[in-house]
Each structure stands twice: as C-alpha cells, then as structure tokens.
Structure 1
Amino acid sequence: MTTKFRYLILSLLFVITLPIQQLNAQHISRKNLHAWPATSPPKIDGVLDDQLWKDPLQVNQLTASTNRYVYFEDTPMKYVSEGYFIQNSPNNLQKSSQKTKVQVAYDNYAIYISAQLYDTAPDSIRTNMGERDSGGNGGDFFIVSFDTYNTQQDTYEFVVSASGVQSDRIQGTSGWDGNWNEIWTSAVKVNDEGWAVEMEIPYRALRMPNGKEQIWGLNFGRVIARSGETSYWNAIDANKSGYVNQFGTLRGIYDVNPPLRLSLTPYISNVSLGQQGGPYAHTFSGGADIKVGLGQSFTLDVSLIPDFSQVQADNQVLNLSAYEVQFGEFRDFFTQGTTIFNRWDQFYSRRIGQNHNNPSDDILREHEAFIYKPTDAPILNNTKLTGITEKGLGVGILNSITNETYAIIEDSTTGERREELADPVTNFNIIALERALPNNSKIGFMNSNVYRGEGFKSSNVTSTDFNFFDRSNTYQVRGFGALSQEFFPSEESESAQKAGYTQLGHRIDVGGGKVSGKWRYWASSNIESDTYNPNDMGYNSAVNKIGFYTNASYNQFEAGPLFQRYWLRAGYDENWLYNPRTFTSRKVWADSYFQFNNFWSMNLDSYIHPGISYDYFGPREQGYYFKEYMSHGGGFTLNSDSRSLYTGSLRVSYWARPEFSQLDNFISYNQTYRATDRFDLTHSVSWNNQRDEKGYVTTLHDEDGEVESVIYGNRDVKTLENNFTSKYYFNPKMSMKLRLRHYWRRVDYDEFFDLSSTGDLLTTDYTDLNEKGEHTQNTNYNTFDMELSYSWEFLPGSFLTAMWRNELASSNHNSDINFSDNMKELWEEPQMNTVSIRLSYFLDYGQVKRMF
C-alpha cells in the first residue's frame, strides 16, 4: 500500500470520527401560528371576504370556544401573521421587500390557508402561466409547507402561482419528489393591495399522527419574480444545512377526524400505431388506479392494467461507451411517492417492463433466423404501499409483475415459424424502511428481490444506510452497505450438467465532513467488489472499484459590491480496482459559482488527470486495460438574468490528451422566450466535436471462442442535438405542448489498433471493409421525435389527454455526409406514428360524502 493510499485512509477516518459538536451555532427561533376551527368552510375564490378570515376569534358569535376548548386569553395575532418574511436570496436573512399576511383554519375535512401578498406595485406582479408542477414558470408564487409529524425532515409542499397554477411535492430523508401529485383546491386574485391566495388541502392529501392536538412543522414561502426574491415566514438560512429543520410550528388543530381515504380513477384509452403509408393497429383498453388509506399513516396504490401510451419518448443516443445508458422515468406510478426507494442506486424503475433475457443465436437450427426479439415485457399490475408512522418510521413496499415474452424464429427454407421464451413471468419486489432520528438524522434498510422462476436467474440485494448530523446541522457522517446475491440456475449441455450456484457481492460507502458555514469540507470512500451486481432492479454503471474522494469549499451567501453569493471548491479523487487491487486513476479538480448583483451567474470548472491512468472497463474483456496518458479539461457556463422575458445559458468546455493529440470541444446554448403569460418557447442546441478519440471497436475470437484480440480505433466523433419545446396555456387547467428533438452522431474511423496486454495500442491488419468496400464501423446515426400533446383537467383530478407522436430513426455508414443531405436521407425513412386519446375520472370517497 502506497504512502498516499495510507494518507487518504487516515484522513477519511479522521473526518468520519470527528467529534460531533456545536461550534458557534446561530440559533434561529421557531415561529408559532395557531389554526382556528371553521364553523363553515370558506369559499375558495381568491377573495378574502369570508367571515372566517375577517374574524378569527368569532367574537360576532358571542363566544370564543370550540370543541370544549376555551380561548378567553386569545388575541387575533395568535392566529394571524402579518409582516415581512425573511429573505433566503438574494440577500440572505434580510427583511423581505414586501409584507405578507397568512392565516390557517381547519375543519374535519381539510386545512384552509389564506394569504394576502401585499405588493406596492400590483401592475408588476408576474402572472406567467405554466403546466402543473411548473412552480411559477418565471412568475410570482406562494408556498405552504407542512411537516405533519414534526420530525424536521419530511414535508408536504403546496405551491400556487399568481396565475393560479398548482404545484406540489414532498420531501423525505431521501430527497425531494417533485412528481408527487395530490388533488386539492386553490384560487388566486390580483387586488389593489397585491394578490391573494386561498387553498383547501384535504386531509386525504396528508399523513398525520393520531392525537388530540396536532402540532406540525410549518413554513410559508414567497417568490417575487421581478426582483428575484425568495423569502420565508420562518427564516431558511442559506449558511445552514437543511430545509425542513428550519421550519416554524403550527398549533391549535384539535380533535380532527380525517375521513376514509379512498379514491378510484378509472380510465379508457385508444391507441393507433402504424408506419406512414401503411395500415394502423388500433388498441382500445381500460383500467383503473386505486388509492386506499390504511389508517392515517399509509396509502396503498394499485394500478390495474397500467396504461403508459402517453409517456414521453426516450432520448435515444448512439452509445459508444462501455456503460449502459440510463433513461429517465416518465411513468406516473413509478415517479410518484417513490423517493424512499431512490437511495444509493438500488432502484432503477425502468428495469420493470424491460426485456431481460433474449435467446441467443446458439438455439438456432440450420436455415433459421430471428424475425422478432422483444424489447420490453408487458406489465400486468403494480402495487405500492407507502407511509410514515407518528414515531418517524417510513415504510415503502412496491411489487410489480411482468408477463412472459417470446422471440419469433423463422425457417428460411420452409417458412415455418416457432416461438422461443425470452422472459418468463417475473416478479419485482422492493421493501424500504427509514427511521427518522433527532437532528435531521436517519437510518435505513432496503431489500430488493427479482424472481423469474425455475431455469432463470433471480437476485436479491439487501442494504442498510445511516445519515447522522450534530445538533446544529454543522457536521454530517453518512454510510451505506449492501450485499447482492445472484441465484444462477443449473445448466445442461451435451457434455455435462452444471449445478446452480449463488454469487455474492458487496458495496461499502462511508463519508463525513462539515456541511454548514462558510468553510465546508468532505471526505468519503466507496468500495465495490467485482461480484457486486444490483442491476436486476437497480443501476450501477461499473463495479469492481475502490474510490477515495475529498473536497473543501468556501461559501459566501451575503451580498457584496459585485456578487449576491458565490462559492469556491477544490477536490482530489483517486480510484483503484477492487480485484486485482491496482491503481486506475487520480483527478485534481476545482469549480466555482458566482451570482452577480444583476442576477447573471457563472460556473467555472477545471480538472487534470496527472500521470497515467488505466481504463479496465473500456476494453469490455477481462484481463485487458487501456493505458491513458495525462489529460486535462475545463469550461464555463454563463446564465443570463432569469427574471427577463428572454433568458439564455451558454456552456463551453474542452478536454485534451496531448500524448495522442486528442481534443474535444463542446458548446451548448439553451434559451427560453416567454412571449406572453400564456406562451413559452424553449430551444437548446449542443455540438460536441471529439477529434482523434481512441475507443473500443470490437473483439475478435478464435475458433474455440477465446479472445484473440481487442480492436481499438482512432476516430472522430461529431454530435449535434437540437431540442425545441413550445407550450401554450389556455388557462391553468388546459394546455398544449409541441416537442421536437433531433439527435445526430457521426463516427469516422481512420486507423485501427490491437490492444496489447500492457495497455498499449499496436499495429493490426484488422480492416472494417466489407465485400462492397464499405467501412462498416463508420456510423451515421439519427433520431427525430415530434410530439404534440393536449391536456385538460376538466374536474379536479380528472383529465382528458391526447397525444400524437412521430418517430424517425436511421443508421448507416455514410459518416462524411453534410447536414442538408443527412436531413434529406432521414426524411426518406419510414415514419412511425402514434395517436393516443385517454380519459380518466377521479372519484374520491370524501368528496362524495361531503356532497350528501
């Protein structure tokens, strides 16, 4: 073990065993606000003329008592908060520029919020519209957040923009879930004093403990777009780690009896699919999503016959790396309420419904060929149970079942076809537990299991993690450990039978440091064995590695003569193979962020890989590695003032390896134009030019199937990507969106090499020419997607949606083609069209009962 290696281990152990204590911590007191019982619910219209808001003590009713609780000593100020919030940005901990008045009331059905957001210039209030969950979309908005278990870790957050658009999200110890959606009511109104908000949030949308009085964490937030100001009722100090731990308190909710939480959302849909000029296949289907509240803490979600026909298309790419492309998740069931599973890459929901085991060519008989191989597996049903107990124990259970799939094989001489099982019926199951601890800390446990039945591989991954903070949230220590098990079936061949076996693997990650204050530092270590494999249900791009990572930063959140805020950071990373225990790479890096007083901002970054690195993953074959000489890179990102109608972001970067004369240049530009409050245009374009890149081409085998040589090539790779989105909002509940994407990558080889056992590139007689004289490794790859979608929420939670999608793709060896000729060729390819119409209707037991 080298001296540097020992030093890194000792440094890491010093950091993670650092005494956890409070050092000069600033204490910000928690504000209190009391809710008042409503004898009748307010009219949710954005006009604050209800008696409930005018007379919180109900003195006009000659009594100040309710439910046997008497408030003779009360004053209205206990129930009304009026004054200046405290800024988080741009001027941390300074008084807001505008006053705000907030009140909270309740009955047995819901929590009611009223807010008067005073503004000395009502004509300047930004009322930009947007789609649901878009926040303010460049406009003003109001936030209310409830920590119903008062753990200072979890929150339900509800947002209303000045145009009336709703957003909601939840946060737990695993992070934010912006895909979480609930059904609630709100209204806004611009008035002479600014603008007003009224909100009705049913208990169905929340989870809460049992008890005579509810004591919740509470915060309100406000964004004033024209001044770029974000402020909170209870101050959120940018110098401190954490968000929910800086909330105030809501009191005074007594004897609530939340209704049974039961909702049903049936749907019907019709999908038409076909190539241009050809016949269309039509599919009519129906199903339902069911939500059932189990007590006050848990919710059971069941999706019967799931329909994902209107899910956004994946951004397909030509992947030249050794690592799997990780796609985004757009299916509602797997994006909502799943943050408890999203820890340490143990859950990659795209595995559910993904084809796993296509038959190989070894099963083909003479004159046979595959005419179809499945790319996905139909989902039969999904079930999810999530919630948190009043003692802070979070629970998540998810189960999905996918149907079997078959490949189709055809005999070219007889025309006969037969089917070969590709995927069996498969069960995916994951269980997660999270226990909240004092000081924003937590411990967790998770187990994932994939069962495919006899004759197929199954797997299991068990993990535990912890995250500890000191009382002031200044210091943090966290850790993770996992054991993976792969259960391989027995195999039969003509010569022998191989018994089934279990392969074990493990991962350990520990880290710690100072996470609050101006000066911050961090150190961590990650160890993954060569047999660790969570990828039947998780995502891990590469295992068999040991990594050590350290960084330190200086953070300034108080405005100065030039900057509103900035941070500077530098770090050192070192990586080794787990087996064999050998060095692979080191990296020294630095980055920074500056937000100027005119609201422009800039990121700067640079790095260097000194000495020689060793790439054991690129060659794709065990025992091979590629020797990489010193390289360096860097770049900057410039962002314009986000308050403007037109905003832009420019990114320029480079990477170079002088030894091979390699040079990569990357440039991208993103721009958004808010033409009106209802119409947005967004465009992004990027260009990446990789010159003289040395990359893997193919592996050659001998007659016995043994590796004969690994071929690398010298190539130029040019990538152009264009994305365009146009959105029009008829009103806060109805919108139309057009999305276009063109991805073009050209790969041009001019020389090939034989990768030696010492990682060097040697001359080779390999050629990629086919019998037609074409360079088969050269590639010209295109994808073009166009989607037009319409959404109308005609009743709360009930939607009519329609989508048309046009898809084009091409791949050939014409790598020297220009842009115009390439587009002509692309548009000659057959176009795949999909038309989908979907109607869903939300039925809630509480709403129906309330009507009668």
Structure 2
Amino acid sequence: MSRLVDCRRWAPLPILFLLVGISVLAEEDARPHPEKTIRAVRAVTPPELDGILDDVVWSAAPLASDFTQRQPDEGEAATEKTTVQFAYDDEALYIAVMCYDSEPDKIVSRLTRREDWADRDWVSVNLDPHHDHKTGFYFVVGPSGWQSDGILFDDGNESETWDGVWEAATDISAEGWSIEYRIPYHVLRFSEADEYTWGVFVHREVTRKQERSMWVLHGSEDSGWTSRFGHLVGIEGITPPRHLEVLPFALGRVSLAPGDDDGSRDTDLFGSTGVDVRYGLSSGVSLNATINPDFGQVEADPAVLNLSVFESFFGERRPFFVEGASVFNTPGPDVVGIGGPSTLFHSRRIGRRPQRFGLPDGADEIDRPDASTILGALKLSGKTDGGMSFGVLEALTAPEYALIEETTTDPITGQDTTVQRDHRVESLTNHFVGRVQQDVMKESKVGATMTAMNGEGFAPAYAGSVDAQHKWGEGAYSLFGRVAGSRAGAFDDRKQGYEGVVYFSNWSGVIGGQVYADVTSRDFDTNDLGFMRRANRVQTGGHMQVRIRQPWTLARESGFNLNAWSQWNLDGDRLSRGVNYNNWHELKNYWWIHFGLSRSFERFDDLATRGGPLMLAPAGWQWFGSFGSDRRKLVTFGGHGNGGRAEDGLSTNSNVGVQIGIKPASNVQLSLDPSYSSRHEYAQWVENFDTDGDDEDDRFVFGELDQDVFELGVRGSLSFTTNLSIQGYIQSFVTNGDYTAFKKLARARSYDFTPVSQGDLSENPDFSNRSLRGNIVLRWEYEPGSTLFLVWSQNRNESLDLDDPEFTPFDSVWDSFADDGEDVFLVKLNYWMGL
C-alpha cells in the first residue's frame, strides 16, 4: 500500500488563523481593573485565637466589606455581607473575617480532614508577600475549623501540595460565622523592607446558594489571578525570620505475607527512624531535606492490566516530592487526542521498583522489592527579589537485590544443584534535577531545566531544556516555546536526541483556544528521570472553545469545544489524525452533563508489531458522555459511558460506570464507584518469532481478543475533629481475556493477516486475574505540624484457571477477600519543631 496522503496533516491551521484573528480583535478587551487597598494595624496585644471577634485590635482595624458576586449573578453585590480586617505584630499576621448569614441555621459546616475538600461554606484568603503579581499562598477555612492551604504560581495556577504550619479558629453565632487567622511570618517568606505592600485577595463561598463573592472581582472572562489582587498596606517595622523546621519520625511495621503451601504466614518486623528538615536560608529561599524517608501512609496505585506498548502513568503522592513540585514544572499545551510533549522530570522515577539489571539466563525470580530505598533527598528552592525562581533536587537511592533461584550442573558428576541467592537488580543511584526561571518584562519568563541520573554499573543519562513564554493582554494571550535535548543509553550504544515544542493560546473571553506543534527525534529519551510516550514524531493540533459563562435558556454555564490533531513519524508516515467535538453544561438545577464524539482516520501504527514493520490501523468512531447531580445534596449520583468501533466493524469497545456519594452526617462521607468495560480487538499483538535464524523477528502474531474488566472502588471517611480522622478505601479489579483466531501480519503497511495455529505459540496468552487493594489510615494531628498515623494496608492478587476463563465479576470480587496476599500494619509518629 502506498504511503497515506499527508496533505491533511495541516488540519489544525484554520484554527490557528481564527485564534490569531480573535487575539487581534480582542486586544481592546484586555482592560485594567480598579485596584483596592486595605490597611493592617499593629496589634499591641495579639488577639485571642477563638474565632470570636471581640478583641481590642479588631475594634481599631479598618474593615473591607464591599464584596461582589462572581456567581451566580456576576457583578451584583453579594447577598450575604462579609467583612475582613488585618492586624500584625512582630511574629505573625492576623486576619479577622466575619461572614454574616441571614439564615445561620443553614450554614453548611462539614467536618473533614485537612485538605479534603467537600461541599461546605468557606473563606479563602490569598496573599502575595513577594508582590510580584505571579506567586503567593492561599489559606482556606470552613465553619467547622477545617483548613486547606497551598501555593499560587504563574499568575493563575495553584497547588495544594504545600502545607504550612498556621492556625485558625472559628465561631458560629446568630449573626453568621467568623474566623480568626494567625499566620507566622516564616510561612510567608518575604523580603525585608521598611514598609510592606502585599497583594491580597479574599473570596467566600455560600454553598446553599452556590454563591461565590469576592473582595476584588475576578470576572469569568478575566485571565490571570495573582495580578488581579488588591493591596495590603500598613505593615512596617517587622523582619522576615530565618526559620528552621525539624520533623523527626519513628515507625514500626509488621508485614504478614503468604508462607508455604500449608497456609502459614511469614512475619516481617521492621523499625525505622528518619527526619525531615526545612530551613529558610533567606526571605525567599528554603532548603528541604529528608533522611531515610518512609511513605507507608501513602495510598497505593490502582491495579491495571496494560496490554499496550506504552507505559502506564501514575501520579506522585509522596509528600516530600509532591510539596513544591511546581517549581520544576514547565508550561505545556493542553493536548487532546494524542500524547503531549515529554516531561523531563517525573519524580516517581526516584524510588521506583528495581529494574536496572536483568536476571541471569535460566534463573527464576523468587522475590523482588516493590520499591528502591531512598537513602536521602534534598531540595533547594526559592525566588529572588529580582524575579528569578529556582529549584534543585538531589536524591540517592540504595542498591537493591532480588532473590533468585538457579540450577547448576556439576561438570564432573553431572548432578544438578538448585540454589537461591541475591542478585543485584538496582545500583546505588544519584538523581538530580534543577530548574531556573527568570521573570522578564511584565508577564513573561525564560527558563532552563537540567536532569541527570548516575549510578554504579550503568551509563549516565542526561536531559536538558530551555524555554520561554511571552504573555500579553493582562495574561490573556500566551506564546510558549521549548527546545530539549537528551543523552542516554548503554555504554556501547549512547544516543542523543532533541525535542522542540511551540504553542499559542488564548483562554479569556467567549472564544478561546490554542494551537501547538512539536517534533521529537528518533533518539530523544527522557524516561530515566522523566516520562514520555514515544519518540520519532511530529505533531500539530488545535483546540477551539466557545464558552458561555452567563446563564442562558438551558444552562447556567456551557462550553463547546472543537479539536483537531495530526501526527506522523520522521519518515513521513501518518500515525494519527482525528477530530473531536464535545460540550459540557452546568444546568439550572446544578446538575452537569458532558458528551462528545471523536473521529479517527486511517493511519499507520509503527509500534503495533513491537519492533517490526508498520501496520495499517483502520479509521473509527468514539463516543463519550458523563453526568453528575447537584454536589450539595446528601446523596449525589453520576455516571459515565463511552464506546467505539472501527470503521470496518471488526473491533469494538465500550465502558460504563456510576459514581454514588453519600453524606449521612456532616463528618461522614462514603462513595461507591463500580465500572464495567469490554472490548473486542480484531488484531491484538501476541508475540514475535525469528523463523529463519537471522536474529531478527520475521513473524508477527496477533489474535482476536475479547476482554472484560470490572472495577469497584469504595471509599469512606469519618472525622472526629478537625485534627483526628480515619479514612479507608478498597479497590477490586477483575479482568478476563480470551484470544482466538490467531494470525500473522501478511505484509508490511497492511491490515491483512494469514491464519496460524495456536500450537505455534510459545504459551497460552489468555489471562484471568483479580486483585484487591486497600488501606485504612487513622491520622491524628496532635499538635500543629505533628502527626500520628496508624495504617493497615493489604494487597491480594490471584491468577485464575486459563482453561476456563469465565468472567464472573461479582463472584470474583467476593472470592478475592479469601485470596492470599500481604497485610501491613504500620505506626508512624512525627513531631514538628520550629526553631
């Protein structure tokens, strides 16, 4: 078959011309907003932190009260009055917020653990102590005393991965509810000055009315965030502290694993100590370090069965690596339909499952650690007064060994001897990542990133990039570009590669979107310390959105999206081309719906044969939809579904699931998420053969696969106080796969096959697996920053009879509770010391 015509690869270009035209026409919409200012007063006596605003300082501090609705009626005055006041002393900033309520008995005051968002009333105070109009912190409090916090960056992005040690108290009265904050200066990290001007932004949520009001209105069509803040003035005569935080911990762990076939259990007792340290080197620079960390309280990854050629991606959940991770991020396009650009740093590579070195020929693996031990890690990050932000992370992981079994034959007697021994599968390894970014002009920046992995017994891997982003129109329009390079591979097979990315976006106004393009060379590789799906590609794409942000006939808010994309390899073979239309709506009753349709066109797949020739992939259709009920209700309900079929009708897929949430009390939350999916794949790769003995595969075997998957997730949480809670989850995963009609690819660049016998295969590829994973975590913050964890976790896996792979999901879920597995009981205690 001849190469597919590639003239349509430029399909996204009309969207580009449209967006550029919109940006020109909309420049007049980039209008400045009126600024507001509030003055803080010095507190001779700090207020008593009880949530009751009867302290002397609050009678003297100016009030800010002119709040405006963002929703549901944007621009109108808030229906419930809110006032905010600021005070300070030599140690901390104090904030008083009074949330008047005409129906105080209807205040929604849910009790959950810190950072666990639920439907409740709340107030968020945002601060920009650097006053750079790009970065800052937010502090959220609910009527029950619930707290959440996080960092602001890039004038519109936020991350709740940062946890500061600060205090707040609340009180509910006949007038409404009130808050008193105490935020120590060491939390805010600001530069010394005679008199300070900080950015400030306050907004309030009244859940029963779905009303959000703001002291400084950030409209639905406004871009940016931190750059829209008002100003906090009047603070003077204070000095930003250099602060040392030490968090030592001790833990004990008991693991119970299946023993011999007699049903016994192997018991492993383990104890450990370690320490986390944070030190404010200067007003804008901090050092975080961890020695011998343990993340036993972190929830395990969900079970998956991946039959694709691409690696599964799992997000980061470990606190040390999650906190402050945004400093290592670079901007990137919101890619639809195809894989996005590479990531130079993916922190899950640090402490990964040991896999550096393979097993000796003929050896069988008995056991292998689930993760590499992190001996220690150090992170230096900050931002200078000149607008330069930076981050450096260094981590060291220990050598790891697998237990293997080998059979050797005595050359004299001919007697076989089977022995078990340790075999090194991961070496002592150092991981490094560094990023620096400089603010330029008003809203733009340039940056660079470098990563390196070095260790014993393998060649080092390096990657680096430089990038630039220019914004204009008060941040409404953005042009970004990045060039990256890598050097990786074995000592005798070193490879170098490159990647280039460019995109333009405009997400403000009624019509917005983006266009993007990137190119990746054949030998570009960041997977040692980063994450990427594939190399050897060029891709372009566009996304246009029409967003109706005000109520109309059918909905309160709506969005209509059109996407187009195209991808080909460096040989010019088209790998992907498609279009997608989808829309979403928040209805008048606060339910929401989302649905759409995708069309993919005929293409080539250069990875389907796992190293062999290209294979043609037929065109197809895919539909999808989801919905959800009003999240304020005690019982919420949602669902999703999708399905598709190849144009020739030979392959089909479908998936359906529901989500049920129950809030039987203000401190209890339950959820149930069952889903079922099935697919019939006409040509699923099975294995390759070298039939002529030239050390190159020449037979590429596929089969028709019928696969069923059932997943069930159950979660629950119970909060006794704002500082004491228990959470649990369990995930059941059941899948069956039945292969029939085995065949080999008849010729390259085709979708034609020749039948082969199942007897020609090396093994039966059918599968039938089930797993059960879960944990229960009791978390008690017995003092600010100090926590006790009690954890039980379990992991059970079972491979079932391949001769009768009947799919019985409900029986399998029930039976999985009796499967052999590992149970782990852990106690972890840390203690926060601020020096």
TM-score, length of structure 1 as denominator length: 0.90
Of residues 586, 594, 597, the one that matches 1:606 is 597
Partner of 2:48: 43
Equivalenced residues, count: 801
- CA deviation string 1:621-653 (max 9, x = no partner): 1x4223121201112211111111111221122
Matched, 1:364 2:394: no
Partner of 1:255: 237
Distance (whole Å) between structure 2 residues aligned to residue 356 and residue 15 of structure 1: 47
Of residues 301, 312, 317, the one that matches 1:314 is 301
Q: How does 1:76-475 map to 2 (within 5 A)?
A: 79-83=62-66, 85-135=67-117, 137-173=118-154, 175-275=157-257, 277-343=264-330, 345-355=343-353, 357-361=355-359, 363-364=360-361, 368-412=363-407, 413-453=416-456, 455-475=457-477
State the 1:22 CA deviation. 2.8
State the 1:349 CA deviation. 0.9
Q: Are residues 91 and 615 of structure 1, via their aligned partners in 2, closer, same or farther at CA, if it must alter by over 3 Å?
A: farther
Matched, 1:744 2:746: no
* Contact 1:21/1:470, CA 8 A, preserved across alignment: no
Of residues 473, 480, 490, the one that matches 1:478 is 480
Write the letter of the residue equivalent to 1:155: G
SS of 2:108's equivalent in the other structure is coil
Q: Which runs of 5+ in 1 are unaligned?
A: 57-78, 490-499, 846-852
State the 1:590 CA deviation. 0.8
* Contact 1:693/1:717, CA 8 A, preserved across alignment: no
* Contact 2:41/2:60, CA 8 A, preserved across alignment: no
* Contact 1:144/1:159, CA 8 A, preserved across alignment: yes
Q: Are residues 520 and 821 of structure 1, via their aligned partners in 2, closer, same or farther at CA, if it must alter by over 3 Å?
A: closer
Q: Are residues 10 and 561 of structure 1, via their aligned partners in 2, closer, same or farther at CA, if it must alter by over 3 Å?
A: closer
- CA deviation string 1:456-502 (max 9, x = no partner): 1211111122222113333221122211111532xxxxxxxxxx453
Q: How does 1:671-686 map to 2 (within 5 A)?
A: 671-686=660-675
Q: How does 1:496-575 map to 2 (within 5 A)?
A: 500=492, 502-575=494-567
Distance (whole Å) between structure 1 residues aligned to residue 86 and residue 304 of structure 2: 50
State the 1:103 CA deviation. 0.4
Q: Are residues 636 and 480 of structure 1, via their aligned partners in 2, closer, same or farther at CA, if it must alter by over 3 Å?
A: same
Distance (whole Å) between structure 1 residues aligned to residue 782 and residue 116 of structure 2: 19
State the 1:101 CA deviation. 0.4
* Contact 2:13/2:542, CA 8 A, preserved across alignment: no
Write the letter of the residue equivalent to 1:364: D
Partner of 1:790: 778
SS of 2:105's equivalent in the other structure is helix
Q: Are residues 21 and 639 of structure 1, via their aligned partners in 2, closer, same or farther at CA, if it must alter by over 3 Å?
A: closer
* Contact 2:652/2:680, CA 8 A, preserved across alignment: yes
Matched, 1:616 2:598: no
SS of 1:80's equivalent in the other structure is coil
Matched, 1:721 2:726: no
Distance (whole Å) between structure 2 residues aligned to residue 514 and residue 800 of structure 1: 46
* Contact 1:439/1:471, CA 8 A, preserved across alignment: no
* Contact 1:20/1:470, CA 8 A, preserved across alignment: no
Matched, 1:644 2:633: yes
- CA deviation string 1:722-743 (max 9, x = no partner): 1001111101110011211101
Q: Are residues 515 and 358 of structure 1, via their aligned partners in 2, closer, same or farther at CA, if it must alter by over 3 Å?
A: closer
Of residues 480, 485, 488, the one that matches 2:490 is 488
Moved more, 45-54 or 203-212: 203-212
SS of 2:417's equivalent in the other structure is coil
- CA deviation string 1:314-361 (max 9, x = no partner): 112111111111112221101101111133622211100114544435
- CA deviation string 1:250-298 (max 9, x = no partner): 1111121133310111111000001264131111111111111101111
Matched, 1:592 2:583: yes
Distance (whole Å) between structure 2 residues aligned to residue 540 and residue 767 of structure 1: 35
Distance (whole Å) between structure 2 residues aligned to residue 3 and residue 682 of structure 1: 49
Distance (whole Å) between structure 2 residues aligned to residue 768 and residue 200 of structure 1: 73
Distance (whole Å) between structure 2 residues aligned to residue 501 and residue 457 of structure 1: 10
Of residues 769, 772, 792, the one that matches 1:781 is 769
Distance (whole Å) between structure 2 residues aligned to residue 481 and residue 843 of structure 1: 43
State the 1:778 CA deviation. 1.1
Write the letter of the residue equivalent to 2:641: V
Distance (whole Å) between structure 2 residues aligned to residue 655 and residue 732 of structure 1: 46
State the 1:817 CA deviation. 3.6
Distance (whole Å) between structure 1 residues aligned to residue 419 and residue 686 of structure 2: 36
* Contact 1:91/1:564, CA 8 A, preserved across alignment: no
Distance (whole Å) between structure 1 residues aligned to residue 126 and residue 829 of structure 2: 31
* Contact 2:734/2:813, CA 8 A, preserved across alignment: no
Distance (whole Å) between structure 2 residues aligned to residue 358 and residue 140 of structure 1: 50
Write the letter of the residue equivalent to 1:429: F
* Contact 2:656/2:676, CA 8 A, preserved across alignment: yes
State the 1:562 CA deviation. 3.2
TM-score, length of structure 2 as denominator length: 0.92
SS of 2:227's equivalent in the other structure is helix
Distance (whole Å) between structure 1 residues aligned to residue 207 and residue 752 of structure 2: 56
Write the letter of the residue equivalent to 1:649: G
Distance (whole Å) between structure 1 residues aligned to residue 58 and residue 535 of structure 2: 59
Q: Are residues 369 and 717 of structure 1, via their aligned partners in 2, closer, same or farther at CA, if it must alter by over 3 Å?
A: closer
Distance (whole Å) between structure 2 residues aligned to residue 776 and residue 234 of structure 1: 65
* Contact 2:126/2:136, CA 8 A, preserved across alignment: yes
Moved more, 159-168 or 7-16: 7-16
Write the letter of the residue equivalent to 1:753: K
Distance (whole Å) between structure 2 residues aligned to residue 11 and residue 804 of structure 1: 52
* Contact 1:210/1:390, CA 8 A, preserved across alignment: no
State the 1:827 CA deviation. 4.0
Write the letter of the residue equivalent to 1:401: L
Q: Are residues 231 and 404 of structure 1, via their aligned partners in 2, closer, same or farther at CA, if it must alter by over 3 Å?
A: same
Write the letter of the residue equivalent to 2:714: F
Q: Are residues 415 and 5 of structure 1, via their aligned partners in 2, closer, same or farther at CA, if it must alter by over 3 Å?
A: closer
* Contact 1:22/1:470, CA 8 A, preserved across alignment: no
Write the letter of the residue equivalent to 1:587: G
Matched, 1:627 2:616: yes
SS of 1:659's equivalent in the other structure is coil
State the 1:553 CA deviation. 1.8
Q: Are residues 96 and 822 of structure 1, via their aligned partners in 2, closer, same or farther at CA, if it must alter by over 3 Å?
A: same
Distance (whole Å) between structure 2 residues aligned to residue 536 and residue 384 of structure 1: 19
Distance (whole Å) between structure 2 residues aligned to residue 219 and residue 508 of structure 1: 38
* Contact 1:769/1:776, CA 8 A, preserved across alignment: no
Q: Which runs of 5+ in 2 are unaligned?
A: 259-263, 333-342, 408-415
Distance (whole Å) between structure 1 residues aligned to residue 32 and residue 193 of structure 2: 29
Partner of 2:678: 689
State the 1:769 CA deviation. 8.3
Distance (whole Å) between structure 2 residues aligned to residue 377 and residue 826 of structure 1: 28
Q: Are residues 11 and 677 of structure 1, via their aligned partners in 2, closer, same or farther at CA, if it must alter by over 3 Å?
A: closer
Distance (whole Å) between structure 1 residues aligned to residue 420 and residue 653 of structure 2: 49
Distance (whole Å) between structure 1 residues aligned to residue 506 and residue 779 of structure 2: 46
